[in-house]
Amino acid sequence: MNLKNYYMKKIVITILFFTFSIPLFSADFERTKLGIKANIQSMDVEVQFYNPHIVRIVKSQEGFVFKKESLSVIKTPQVVNLIVNQQGDIVSLKSEFIQVTLDLKTGKVSFYDLSGKALFTEKDYGTQFTPIKDVDKKTFTVRQAFLLDKDEAIYGLGQQQEGKMNQRGQKLLLRNENTKICIPFIQSTKGYGVFWDNYSPTKFVDNPQEMSLESEVGDGLDYYFLYGKNADGVIAKMRDLTGQSPLLPLWTLGFWQSRERYTSQEEIVGVVEKFRKLGVPLDGIIQDWQYWGGNGNWNSMNFDNPKFSEPQKMIDRIHQLNAHYMISVWASFGRDTKQFSELKEKKSLLNFETYPKEATPYDPYNPEARNLYWEYLSKGLFAKGVDAWWMDSTEPDRTFTRDSDLDVPTHLGTFRSVYNAFPLQTVGGVYDHQRKAASNKRVFILTRSAFAGQQRYGANSWSGDIHGRWDVLRKQIPAGLNFSLCGIPYWNTDIGGFSVDYKGGIKNVAYRELYVRWLQFGTFMPMMRSHGTSTPREIYMFGQKGDWAYDAQEKFINLRYRLLPYNYSTAWDVTNQSGSMMRALVMDFSQDKKVYDINDEYMFGKSLLIAPVTESMYVKNENDKSEEDFSQIKSKQVYLPEGTSWYDFWTGAQFSGGQTISKEVPVDIMPIYVKAGTILPVGPKVQYATEKKWDNLELYVYPGADGEFTLYEDENDNYNYEKGAFSTIKINWNDKEQTLTIENRKGSFPGMLKTRNFNISLITKGKSTADFSAKTDKAVTYKGKEIVIKLK
């Protein structure tokens, strides 16, 4: 349907919201403060504008009261000026950005841009309510069918493990479980997103006939249409709807070491000391489970294990070594814990089998239970100086996954009805309480599951207990990218995979090759974290300097730290501009259809193209016997998107976009390409994130297009930035004039550098950027006032 014709005909009804004073009725629909509502086919339908870009669609069975306070959506609807018209059976609503129509005969809702171009539409008679009983409650299974364009690509649905980038043609059960994060959200190459606001297990199906979402439980059908014009715009609207992402502390962007598990306080402190002795950078060490003792004492939130007899001394020593301490906490409690007894008394336990069998999940939907959780967490761990929380099993685990588990009551209804929101509630409980308890330490949470809106809770999700295999490594790339496209920017994996599928583990050179390649990929994740079971994987377990597996790791860990100014400024863009760190190629090159389904490359920030090596090249592994062969350098095919030119990060070689090239990849090289127009800030070589001030920064300029970069700085670990305690320096490159302008500094904060040096290198043909050894072309002293530098 083309709406241009409607507005050329006589307007039957025109209503401007700002003149609205009393309800206006027609025979077919009623005007409301947010839009319109109508009764169609024994169904109540509402179209509600939350702002000019975001529209909520609510449908319910006639006579069935549907009241809902969303767990994900926190936005309050704003006043929107609307033009409302009726032409026959079609009612149209027009904001300053989009148009929506409701068919009063079929109940179909459709969405258009202002020119009348179709964006997204329901299917005629595509709404279904099937009466069911959710235990004792009368409710429905709810289903809506939609129509997509044949060549339209869609993304999102959380973190799936199918290895697909474009989610067309998928059939998925969206139900959170270990390794699988399910978010009923999609966004399209046509510039819109759809959030299906339902927490029960939901079937997603896309086939040539229709795309549909069907949830097991729903008193009504409830979804949001978000028009952003492009992927960044859609993510910005999703953050506006469900919450902005707070800025994580600088130290979270360093390197993290973990193991399942460190068995004593001496062992975990010894790891940090070993890193410092070797001079390998490290910012975080993680204590996994059983520091509490036996399974009956599961998640006591106390160091009851006698091998952790002096926890304060342990944590203090780690802090003295300038590292941070993260600790594992769970969503379940052992039968011998005080928490278990109190929660049982409050009827706030979920009575189903979990891991381990001696533990029971708590009810995070209950505010009193969340209060109790933090009370014990605070006095048992936070008071001792624990810096960050590893919230494991936040799906939560259901050992036998029986259907009867879904009947278990929670504070908000059956577990079935709120299933997928479990991580949102339990993670949110910790964030909210810590924010109230302290403002000098930013909340940082690592969690195994997520749901829409979780970005507002300072959380970084990881992809669960995956296997250490090449095929699994490949699947992590589209899994993380689609997760990020849901509007949740912080994600990572266990570097090397949780469980190792190689005989001998780290002693097997085939696994060493896999681990090195995985760590290279991890260098360009929002969190760089080594973890797993079966075999230890600290860098010194791979040998020593001079050994290829050791040297390649050290090289990339140091690279991570040199890029901290770029990464931290990108994190500020996430918070300040609803940005993303891991960016599917379609986000920046949507006009190049070749990138729509590329699942092994992505942008990290807006300047660096990353192409992880995802297959073995130098080690043969047959019948559990491995043999390395470095006699011939192998290559990887890399597609460079059109619309810009590119620089090889390692050699400075230049390439035109829109072509596939072959890049040689010795074991210590992963393909990295820099977009023309990039201004790349590079920090000093350090052992931990805040060891040195950024008083001597390298600026690498990649000509061929105009560019800009905003350098962000603050106090690194408190919430004063929310009160304006930060500074930004905008840097511009004019390619035609070959001039770099460092603009006036904006803002200030305690401890801010008043004077600094910028060492500027213009990358030209053949000028290598490897190890940041490019010759400095200009060195300037900057005191906060604008400087214009001519480069040739």
Q: Give the three-state DSSP class for 317.
A: helix
- In the residue annotation, 713 being an active-site residue is answered as no
**C-alpha span between 374 and 429 (Å, rounded):** 8
Q: 288, 465, 538, 600: which one is catalytic?
A: 465
Q: Give the three-state DSSP class for 565.
A: helix
Query: Which distant-in-sequence residues (6+ apart) come within 8 Å of 434 by Cβ?
Result: 374, 382, 441, 443
Q: 46, 197, 222, 392: which one is catalytic?
A: 392
Q: Which long-range contacts (CB under 8 A, 24 or more apart) does 96-100 make?
A: 96/52, 97/52, 97/53, 97/227, 98/52, 98/53, 98/55, 98/225, 98/227, 99/3, 100/35, 100/47, 100/55, 100/225
Q: Omega of the bond prior to 489 within 30 degrees of 0, cis? A: no
- In the residue annotation, 44 being an active-site residue is answered as no
**C-alpha span between 90 and 103 (Å, rounded):** 5
Q: What is the DSSP string of 20-70?
A: --S--B-SS-EE-SSEEEEEETTEEEEEEEEETTEEEEEEEETT-------
**C-alpha span between 731 and 760 (Å, rounded):** 12
Q: If we measure between CA atoms, which residue out of 602, 603, 606, 601 comes closest to residue 570?
A: 606
Q: How far is CA 26 from the centre of its chain?
A: 45
Residue type at 624 in one-letter notation:
D
**C-alpha span between 83 and 91 (Å, rounded):** 10
Q: Count each helix (H run) and each strand (E run) in the chain, helices first.
A: 12, 50
Q: 395, 513, 588, 698: which one is catalytic?
A: 395
Exposed (0-12), middle (13-18) or buried (19+): which is 682, by Cβ within 10 Å?
buried
Structure tokens at 642: 């059109």
**C-alpha span between 232 and 248 (Å, rounded):** 20
Q: Which residues pair with 630 in a beta bridge?
A: none
3-state secondary structure 351-372: CCCCCCCCEEEECCCCHHHHHH
**C-alpha span between 449 and 410 (Å, rounded):** 19
- In the residue annotation, 392 being an active-site residue is answered as yes
**C-alpha span between 565 and 689 (Å, rounded):** 10
Catalytic site residues? 392, 395, 465
